[in-house]
Amino acid sequence: MGLRLRMTRASAVRGTVCAGVLLATMTLMGCPRETGTRPGGDDSRSPGTSASSSSSASSRSPARQSSAQVPVPAGVPRAIPAVRSAEAAPGPGWRPADGARVVASGPLADEGRRLAGELRLGYAAGTARPGDVELVLRPGTGQGPLAAEAYELTARDGKVLVASAGEAGVFYGTRTLLQAVRSGGGLPEGVVRDAPDRAQRGLHLDIARKHFTAEWIEARLRELSALKLNQLALHFSDDQGFRIESDSHPEIVSPQRLTKAEVRRIVALAESLHITVIPEIDSPGHLGAVIAAHPTLQLRDAAGKPVRGAVDIANPDAARIVDDLLREYAPLFPGRYFHLGADEYRALMAKNPEASYPRLAARAKEKYGPHARVQDLATGWLNDRAALVRTLGKKAKAWNDGFFRGGVVTASKDIEAEYWTGKEIGARPPQEYLGEGRTLVNLNDEYLYYVLGEPNQFRYPTGQRIYEQWSPPVLRGTAPVPGQAGPDRVLGGRLAVWCDRPEAQNAQQVADGIRLPLAAVAQRLWDARKPTMTWQDFATLDARVR
C-alpha cells in the first residue's frame, strides 16, 4: 500500500489565470461529489473479494501535462477524511513539478523527507522558493485540546505551506496534500483549515486468537496513517494464545508470537506515523493461555467445574502473574494507555454469582464487608490493576461490561470505559456511564465489530453502513445517545477485528475486508456530521487516493 506516485515530471510554468476575482468560503460536511463514472467499491460482498485494495498506481495518479502546467481546478481538495473547511482563492493552485522541493528542518525534517519521497520531489532545509512545499510548526494554528492535530494547508504564489502547532498536524496536512495530488493533480489555490472532531481514532486488533506477522501489522499502520487515524490497540492475550515474547513468564507464550524486537519495530513505525499503540492484557477473564501453564489459577464453580478462561480472583497468585506481565510490557509500549480488559468474567455472567461461586462470594465479604458481592471483588481486581499501571505512567482502559452498578466498590473514575455492547448480562446503557461523569470510547458491536467467522449473529461490517448510519454518539444499538455525546464525553472510536474463528479468513482477506470500513470510520470520527458525498463517490475516491 505504498504512497509513491507513478508520474513523470512536468514544467513548473503556470498557465495564465483568467481575469476576475472569486473568493468563497466553504465549511464542509464532506467532500464535494465526484462526477466521474468510474464505479466505486462495494464492500457489501463477502470479505476477501474486495477489488478496491488493488487499485493501480496509475488510477491514483493524475495525468501529467507534456506542455506547460495547467491550473488546478478551483474548489475543495478531495481527500479521505474530507477536509472540514476550505477558503478558495483565485489562482492556479499548485502541482508537483521539476525542480520543486519539500522544505523542512528541525523536528519536521523526517516529515519533509517522507513527503518528498512520496511526491518524487527534492528535499531541502532552508528558505522556500516558488514551486516548493514548506512545512512549519506555528503555535496558534489550531485551538482547543486537539490543536496539535489541526493544520492549515495553503496554496498561494506558486507555493504550498503546511502549518500546525504540532508535528501530528503537519503530518495530517501532508496527507491531505498527497491525496489532493492523487485525486485532482494538485492543490487548488486557497486555504484549508482542518482538525479532527474526536481525539481517539483507530483500529483494535485481536492478535491473540490469530497470529498476524509484524509486516502485516506494519502495513495496517501505514493504512491507518493515510486516513489520519491515530490508535492501534493490540489484544495479545486470550484463551487461544499469548502472542508477545515474555521474559517474566515465557511458559505462557504461544509458538507463533511477536518477538520484543518486532514489537519495538512496530511501535517505532507507529510513533513516526503519529499513532499510539495500546497494549491489552485482558483479565480476569480471557486468560486461558495463562491458565494452561498455571492450572492452579483456574476458576471453578460450586460443583468444581472449571470455567473457561477465568482465573480465580480469590487466589493471590492470579494477581501476581498478571501484575508481573503488566510491569513487563508497560515499558515496551511507551504510549499513554494500557487496556485492562475486564469484560466477560464468567463468574459474573451467572444468574446468581454468589450461589455459583461461593469461594469468590466469601472472599468479597472478607475483603470489602458483609454487603459485598462477587461484582465488588471483580471491581476491586480492576482497581488494583489500574492502580499498578498508574504507577507505570499509564492511563487504564477497560470494557464497559467491567463496570457495575450498585456495588460497595466502584471502579476508579480515571479508568476510561470503552463501550462495545449492551447485550451482555447486566450491561448498562451508555447514559449511565456519562451520567457518572465518565468519558467513553465507541466500539459499538452493532457497527464496528469485524468478527471472523461471524459467530453469535455477528455480521461483517460494511463501510457503507458505517458511513451512512453510524456516528460517534451511536454507542449502543443504532440510536444516538441524546444530549451528552460531544467530543469531550465520547472521545472517539475504533473499528475492532476479533478472531473468534481464526481460520475463517486469511490475513489478506482481513486486510481487504476492513479497508472500506476503516475509511468510513475515519470519515465519521474526523467529522461527526453526516457526510454530503454519496457512498459510491466516497468509495470511488478511496480507490483513487490510497
Grid coordinates of 217: 501489522
Say if CB 411 and CB 383 are below 8 A apart: yes
Q: What is the pLDDT of residue 10?
A: 34
Q: pTM here? A: 0.88
For 351, residues 6+ apart whose C-beta sits below 8 A from its C-beta are: none
Q: For residue 24, what pLDDT is reported?
A: 37
Distance CA 244, CA 133 (A): 41
SS3 content of the chain, % helix, strand, coil (to 5): 35, 20, 45
pLDDT cut 70: percent of the chain above it:
87
* Predicted local confidence at residue 64, as pLDDT: 43
- State which amino acid sits at residue 383: N
Contact 11, 67 (CB under 8 A): yes
Reported as a single tens digit per residue, the pLDDT across 119-176 is 999 999 999 999 999 999 999 988 888 999 999 999 999 999 999 999 999 999 999 9
Which residues contact residue 32 at a Cβ distance below 8 angstroms, ignoring those fewer than 6 apart? Answer: 75, 76, 78, 532, 533
Arithmetic mean of pLDDT, 288-300: 98
How do residues 306-321 score in pLDDT, each as one tens digit? Answer: 999 999 999 999 999 9
pLDDT tens string 505-528: 999 999 999 999 999 999 999 999
Query: Which range in 23-27, 48-52, 233-237 is most confidently predicted, on average pLDDT?
Result: 233-237
Examine the pLDDT at 35 and tell me if it is beyond 60: no
**Over residues 34-56, mean pLDDT:** 37
pLDDT at 142: 85
Identify the three-state secondary structure at position 18.
coil
What values do phi and psi take at 463, rounded to 5?
-60, -40
User: How confident is the model over 426-480, as pLDDT tens digits?
Assistant: 679 999 999 999 999 999 999 999 999 999 999 999 999 999 999 999 999 999 9
Looking at every residue in the chain, the average pLDDT score rounds to 89
Question: Measured between alpha carbons, how far is 446 from 441 in angstroms, rounded to an integer?
Answer: 15
Q: Which residues pair with 416 in a beta bridge?
A: 397
